[in-house]
Structure 1
Amino acid sequence: MASSTFPRDRFDDLPDSTGRVGAHRAEKPRLRGWIVFLWAAIATLVLIIVGIFGTLVASGRITFGSDTAPVPTVSAEPTVAAVVDTTYSVVVLNGTGQDGLAASVRDQIVAAGWPGDTVETGDSDSSDFARTTVYYRSEGDEAAAQGLAQAIGGAEVAQSDFLQPTDDPNTPDDESAVKRLVVVIGLDRASGATPSTTAP
């Protein structure tokens, strides 16, 4: 190689550069921070969606392989046809603290065909009975209880222990055999009261 024809100067004595040459600028830290935040937000959103989906699958709200949901089967309880039988005597007990309800229900019963002398009124031991209920003694009395419940505008019907014949020798036989229904008026027919489940 031909030698340089230029005269030596002070730049010829500089050592060879061991580093990079030129202007060097650091990366913008703000831009990198936003990218990290964006990826973290996306990852969080994906995890939330996967968690919700997994919860729905685990709880059975989402099923695979079946287009139709199972239909629950409801077993119908046997019902007894209501019969209005005015040969039953009726006792109407007021199970609320409101006056006049027993007399009002008695008037409904008499208007439905019961003789007035077979319908008695009184107060229940409870003054916060929940729902108006017609009580009967045996299964053979249920139809008449249903009929009485309809005659007074609707009420629950239940078999009661306190109407069962007693072993008390002081109780006359004819008293144990009498056909009787008991209506306990509940707070569903009273105003401004809070129901409870206290028995009559």
Structure 2
Amino acid sequence: MTEQSDSRPDGNGLLNAQVREAVEALTKLGASDPELAATLARVLGVVASEAARTTRFARALAKALTPPDAQTAPRPADRPRRSRRAPGVIDPFAVLAESGETGLRSSLSELGLEQLRDIVSEHGMDHDRLALKWKDPQRVIDRIVERVESRTAKGAAFRGRPEQPALRHDEAVGPAAEDSST
């Protein structure tokens, strides 16, 4: 086994003093509880020899034994992301709910291309990573309207549709039912 030496000039002296303190503490403990003192000595011996043999274990042991305040390295100052876009000028979901698709299209047509891209980015409507590259505002408007309608309609099967009357059990639906009734 190889021993790892401390790179500090007074490291060996400090280590020797700490070993003497540990021996004294184990000796005192041995006077009152020899079995516990022997067990602790064996555990410390095994841990020390494994740490000397395996640098990975030594690093993990050092990390586990450092106080939590010392483990948390100060993070570098957070830089704002370059790719952050401004929030959208309007909420397309609210506009669709208030004034329908035509109202949404007219509201979007009043905005510039960058403002439309902000809306696409804010609401995650660029699933294929193409919409933010488009130069034609009408294509971006079509994408926004398509995604807003799609997300608004999602789950409609579970909400029920009051405009469609429920079928009675005895009513048949479809052309196959018409053929069987004649």
- In the superposition, the TM-score normalised over structure 1's length comes to 0.30
Higher RCO (CA 8 Å, separation ≥ 6 residues): 1
**In terms of Rg, which structure is larger?**
1
Higher helix share: 2
Give the TM-score normalised by structure 2. Answer: 0.31
Larger % of strand: which?
1
